[in-house]
Structure 1
Amino acid sequence: MDSFIIYASQQNATNLVTQEIESTGNPFGPHSTLKIPWTQFSPSDVRLAPFPTREYTDDEFQSIIKKVMGVLYLLGFLYPISRLISYSVLEKEQKIKEGLYMMGLKDEMFHLSWFITYALQFAVSSAIITVSTLGTLFEYSDKSVVFMYFFSFGLSAIMLSFLISTFFTRAKTAVAVGTLSFLGAFFPYYTVNDEAVSMIVKVIASLLSPTAFALGSINFADYERAHVGLRWSNIWRASSGVCFLACLLMMLLDALLYCVIGLYLDKVLHKENGVRYPWDFLFCKCFWRKNNRTEHQACSSEVNIIGEHSKEKANFSEKDIHEPALEATSLDMKQNELDGRCIQIGNLHKVYTAKKGKICAVNNLQLTLYENQILALLGHNGAGKSTTISMLVGLLPPTSGDALVFGKSILTDMDEIRKNLGVCPQYDILFPELTGRQGGRGRKAEDLHEVKEHMVIFANLKGVDEDSLESNVTEMVDEVSFHVFVCKNLTGICYHAFWILTCVSETMVGGSCS
């Protein structure tokens, strides 16, 4: 204001000079007012005016919805989250997940496929939400900030759903408990949503991504109410005691944290199917040196894959103990053993825990299977045939013992073993979404692409080249004689035989050697 007065005084003095010249012709005469210093002038035309500002308005809608905005957004995510938990657990329940593993699918590829699928879905959903709120709920905010806000929460929600699914083996239970758990992760928001609560406490509470998501909604409400909006230039400024940038970074950190914990728990938690690792498997050398063949046998003793309990033994009667049946081996067989071209089963033991006690399914089995031989396990129901095969293919963890498949241990190298493994299980592991599973339109030549959908998936898992993929699948379809199924509706025995042939073809496609 002082500079403005000085400027006005100078302007007034200039005007006086002009007037003196016009009236007397001598602006510096004896009676001229210009001899008075300009700082002593008292300007008569100085006026004060308020700085121009926008008319004051108050967005009552934002002030009201600010209290419930977080929970309203969260409720919109409950349905896709419940479906994600359901589908991921259902694959475990129907043993489709382990079936894919047995056919050679790597664990990291399995989880990556789920992540990419749902990340794309949440990206589309976030884009739709961003576009639909143009000029309405987020009228003044940067649309890229709005998209990043919802997409970041979507990523953390995917990982949180995966983490929740590791605790369950039944889809219905997982959906009920998982959805409630996801919603419960929001309630710390009501505890920390206070300006008196320190930022550190809010960051700790934001380790639950629904809480971080709800805290971020406060910034949107405040900035929209001020007709400013959230932009990349102001996301670091706190509003109502909350920093939007911190909420955004915490949701991304939560996604990474849930992913790491979920992958670890998926290995060590109890599960009905698949190999369960000990809690300290990350500290075992053989886990990080899988390609070092000299350490395979040492790893078998170092890493004890956990069954019901590695030291549990069932009580056997004398009739359960038999003398070992030994068969003379030729020089070629012994050479196969030395070269590692065989399957060597050593003291394989499996004990189930039931209500009546412990039941021994496989009692210290010792068996060697040689290359270029066909072996059939025969026995009555409950003799342990399926249990033995399930342990060899990694579907069940052994209580004790080990087996070497072409020099690789089933305890530590199952991923390597499954690259050349073909398994036709006793149960249906076909995908309901693919037409070969539905089976309703006959197996004529023009409809064989329905069956090939499954075979193409498993051929890719086996690493079949793209150039030879079509011919490989077609050859396998002809070998298993799918053309005999010309009925329009496959039911009963006809359908049972059909899915068995489909599983057999999937097992053999790609040249599986064991």
Structure 2
Amino acid sequence: MADTSHGPASFWTQANALLRKNLTFQKRNIKQNIRLVSFPILLCLLLVLIQHLVNNELDKPENRCGCSCVDTNGDGKCEKVCGLEYSTLTQGPSCPVPDPPQWPPLLQVPAPDYRAVMSDVIPHKDLPNVSCKRSGSCPVTVLFTGKNQSLGEVLAGSMFRSSSTLNSSDLDYLARSALGSESTPDYSNFLDPAFNLGLPLYGVQSQCSQNSTFSVPINILSIKIQQEVRCVQGVHLWRDSSSEINSELYKGYEKSNSERKINEILSAYDFSNSNGNNFNVSIWYNSTFKNDRGRGAIALMRLPRSVNLASNAYLQFVQGFGTEMLFEFVKEMPKPETKLRLDFSSLLGTLFFTWVILQLFPVVLTSLVYERQQKLRIMMKMHGLGDGPYWMISYTYFLTVSSIYMLCFVIFGSGIGLKFFSLNDYSIQFIFYFIYINLQISLAFLVAAMFSDVKTATVIGYIFVFGTGLLGGFLFQFFVQDTSFPRGWIIVLELYPGFSLYRGLYEFAQYSFNGNYMGTDGMRWGDLSDSKNGMTEVLIIMVVEWFVVLLFAYYVDQAVSLGTGKGTFFCFQRFRKKKLPSLRMRSLQRQGSKVSIEMEKPDVCQEREKVEKLLLDSDTTHSVICDNLKKVYPGRDGNPEKFAVRGLSLALSRGECFGMLGPNGAGKTSFISMMIGLTKSTSGTAYVQGLDIRTQMDEIYTSMGVCPQHDLLWETLTGREHVLFYGRLKNLKGSVLIQAVEESLKSVNLFHGGVADKQAGKYSGGMKRRLSVAISLIGDPKVRLCALSKLLWLES
């Protein structure tokens, strides 16, 4: 056998052995790795294909700037002329607009069916009666409050003109009147939908005459059209406080929000402490359409006209009637012709990329659970692998695989032109992805302690993947976009790691989408200071959770590790007083009024007395001492409890070979399982080299060689690679390691004929048993335990 003077393997020797084994194992699973990396690549290619198809669709003539056949010379022949005036709302954004049209400023007027009326929800007596909705004659309501009601009445009464002061022939009609529309505002003013959809305008006046519908001329570039205007009465109502207005606005919005309609109230004003020398006003306005498409895509709010009405009312109060600021028009900035493009990687990327990154979780989880299910982790511990090297190498191994996976994902996505990656700062992406994959690996270590079956872990892992993506896309994202949803609850939801990932990807998607749309950059470090940017809080949450989850996962692993679990409160065990072994008395069993005494055979009594004497004398000449070792399995389904090992006492001196022969159910497997740490004893204990199997299994493993009853092998590693790995754990190196491996394989007839270099998964049952014996022999351990069918062999 090999030289045994090397002593226990150091931390780095164990780490080197495990790293070599993992690299070999990874090389054998190259096909699985290719499939893993190909998934995000195929997804990126799919997004590029969808992007190409959508761009081709957007480039069709009906989607480009509108054109028409116009007789420009009066000769009866038409020429094709393209421009904004011939375009629909869909076509307008692609048109060149050197001189944008001027649009009258508008109010956001509630549609007739959604104007405020008196109801059970809003019981104010001064509101119009609900019967006005049947005749379509409901006025629009303006609420106001302040410290001086008389001043408020004067200002509110001056906002809207009466019908007698206006007619459609006035040149300044559009600038002086309070026009409004029920149409949804757009995201630019190149083509205002109020003048493009054929809907009527509303002229808000203090009183409406009988003939309350007329038309006014509107210039759209070089074309003059007649726009229908319907008079609607504006009613101003006093409220005692701003909180009362808030309540009424909220109730009105809830009442009419089933179809995402606008608020029931036109606007509201709080003149606060305004007087003849001071003008102070707060304005409530309708922002229903503000965030329908997410951050950055904010519709133009019809607020300026509300401000102008309040300002003119105050000027007339101070300077007299006739003094006013004319608000003639609003217009966009000029722009060149642009192509319609829709960045699908940013639009759909949040959901898809969440799935891509999360699929690493079940990969790591199943790998860890596989080692638990096959008892490979405990097998490595039996041969001297400590928890420190195992955690360091396993964590680094999974981190390296995840980093390579993410690096390929980002590089490939950027290379094929996905804006999601190319527009956002790569340093922010690197930090975000690096922190999250560390959190994900830590979470996998924690969750792995809860499973012992790979199939169950795989199912739960993929439920987590797809469930997180769907909940993020169809629930969490709406909370993020809803500005009224409390920010504190958003942070609470982000404590769930999947939602932290989704929020970060959502921020990347929003910035890349808007950057592509506006022709600007995506997310930069300066954007993290934006109060609407949630990336900073996500990074902080993930860093804190990373360390907390990792520490908790290590604690749980130590507490519930298969066979060697130290218990929930193991960290307090050092403060407990150690109990000295005591003499064992023969058991007495009381049944009713009878007392039965278990009679033991003379050789059993003699061995028990020998053990008790050795324990009292603290003898060190015996390698193995079993002290009244018991294993009792609890009863199930009404059956009594089962004694597997019934008070075994045994002492083996150094150099002794002991065989235990018996039929199935005799307790051989239960005994060796307790000796090697696979199961805990019910009572009693055993000492190996003076070390207690209850509390010192980690130290016992450094001097023990084990051949368990069932083969604990990696299917893709060869016999030689198995013995090499366990030889390194025994601190064998160089030529000594090679010689020990050859001797171990030769001793079980697995060396010749290329058998040693054949994968263990292709071995027969007998060859696997021989390989397990070879593993137990490597490094010449001081104590060897081997379970062979009906025979238990223990050598010291």
Normalised to the residue count of structure 2, the TM-score between the two structures is 0.48
1:465 to 733, 745, 755: 733
1:274 to 530, 540, 563: 563
d(CA) in 2 for partners of 1:492, 1:191: 50
What is the aligned partner in structure 2 of residue 231 from structure 1? 524
Report the AA paired with residue 496 of structure 1.
G
d(CA) in 2 for partners of 1:366, 1:474: 37
d(CA) in 2 for partners of 1:493, 1:133: 40
What is the aligned partner in structure 2 of residue 136 from structure 1? 418
Q: After the TM superposition, which of the residue ranges 166-175 and 416-425 deviates more from structure 2?
A: 166-175
Residue correspondence of structure 1 range 348-387 to structure 2 within 5 A = 348-353=629-634, 354-355=636-637, 356-387=639-670
What is the aligned partner in structure 1 of residue 491 from structure 2? 203
**Following TM superposition, by how much is the alpha carbon of 1:78 offset from its aligned partner in structure 2, in angstroms?**
4.5
Residue correspondence of structure 1 range 435-474 to structure 2 within 5 A = 435-436=718-719, 452-466=720-734, 468-474=736-742
Report the AA paired with residue 512 of structure 1.
P
1:393 to 676, 689, 696: 676
d(CA) in 1 for partners of 2:351, 2:763: 52
**Following TM superposition, by how much is the alpha carbon of 1:192 offset from its aligned partner in structure 2, in angstroms?**
4.2
Which deviations, in whole Å up to 9, do the C-alpha atoms of 1:76-119 show, x marking residues without a partner? 13443223222221222222222112122122333333322221
Whether the 8 Å CA contact 2:632–2:644 is kept in 1: the answer is yes
What is the aligned partner in structure 1 of residue 600 from structure 2? 322
**Following TM superposition, by how much is the alpha carbon of 1:454 offset from its aligned partner in structure 2, in angstroms?**
0.8
**Following TM superposition, by how much is the alpha carbon of 1:503 offset from its aligned partner in structure 2, in angstroms?**
1.2
| SS of residue matched to 2:552 | helix
Residue correspondence of structure 1 range 265-344 to structure 2 within 5 A = 265-269=556-560, 273-285=562-574, 297-298=578-579, 322-323=600-601, 324-327=604-607, 337-339=618-620, 341-344=622-625
d(CA) in 2 for partners of 1:58, 1:398: 75
**Following TM superposition, by how much is the alpha carbon of 1:341 offset from its aligned partner in structure 2, in angstroms?**
4.6
Q: CA 1:326/1:116 → structure 2, altered by over 3 Å: closer, same or farther?
A: same
Do residues 220 (structure 1) and 511 (structure 2) align?
Answer: no
What is the aligned partner in structure 1 of residue 714 from structure 2? 431
Q: After the TM superposition, which of the residue ranges 275-284 and 401-410 deviates more from structure 2?
A: 275-284
| SS of residue matched to 2:500 | helix
d(CA) in 2 for partners of 1:76, 1:461: 37
Whether the 8 Å CA contact 2:347–2:509 is kept in 1: the answer is no
Which deviations, in whole Å up to 9, do the C-alpha atoms of 1:300-346 show, x marking residues without a partner? 99xxxxxxxxxxx9x9x97986354314869x989995237522222
d(CA) in 1 for partners of 2:765, 2:697: 30
What is the aligned partner in structure 1 of residue 695 from structure 2? 412
- Greater Rg over alpha carbons, structure: 2
What is the aligned partner in structure 2 of residue 90 from structure 1? 370
What is the aligned partner in structure 2 of residue 114 from structure 1? 394
Do residues 509 (structure 1) and 778 (structure 2) align?
Answer: yes
Do residues 258 (structure 1) and 549 (structure 2) align?
Answer: yes
Sequence identity, in percent? Answer: 24
d(CA) in 1 for partners of 2:478, 2:622: 63
Which deviations, in whole Å up to 9, do the C-alpha atoms of 1:201-230 show, x marking residues without a partner? 333322221111111123213332142322
**Following TM superposition, by how much is the alpha carbon of 1:54 offset from its aligned partner in structure 2, in angstroms?**
9.5
d(CA) in 1 for partners of 2:641, 2:710: 25
d(CA) in 2 for partners of 1:143, 1:492: 44
Report the AA paired with residue 661 of structure 2.
L
Aligned-residue CA RMSD in angstroms? 3.8
Report the AA paired with residue 370 of structure 2.
L
Q: CA 1:142/1:371 → structure 2, altered by over 3 Å: closer, same or farther?
A: same
| SS of residue matched to 1:284 | helix
d(CA) in 1 for partners of 2:494, 2:526: 22
Whether the 8 Å CA contact 1:336–1:371 is kept in 2: the answer is no
Normalized per residue, the structure richer in helix is 1
| SS of residue matched to 2:422 | coil
Q: CA 1:160/1:411 → structure 2, altered by over 3 Å: closer, same or farther?
A: same
Give unpaired runs (5+ residues) of structure 2.
1-332, 583-588, 784-796
What is the aligned partner in structure 2 of residue 102 from structure 1? 382
Q: CA 1:165/1:469 → structure 2, altered by over 3 Å: closer, same or farther?
A: same
Give unpaired runs (5+ residues) of structure 1.
1-51, 288-294, 302-312, 437-451
Whether the 8 Å CA contact 1:185–1:208 is kept in 2: the answer is no
Q: CA 1:67/1:319 → structure 2, altered by over 3 Å: closer, same or farther?
A: farther
Normalised to the residue count of structure 1, the TM-score between the two structures is 0.72
Report the AA paired with residue 231 of structure 1.
R
| SS of residue matched to 1:463 | coil
Whether the 8 Å CA contact 1:130–1:143 is kept in 2: the answer is no
Q: CA 1:174/1:212 → structure 2, altered by over 3 Å: closer, same or farther?
A: same
Equivalenced residues, count? 421
Which deviations, in whole Å up to 9, do the C-alpha atoms of 1:165-189 show, x marking residues without a partner? 2111111111112322354456373
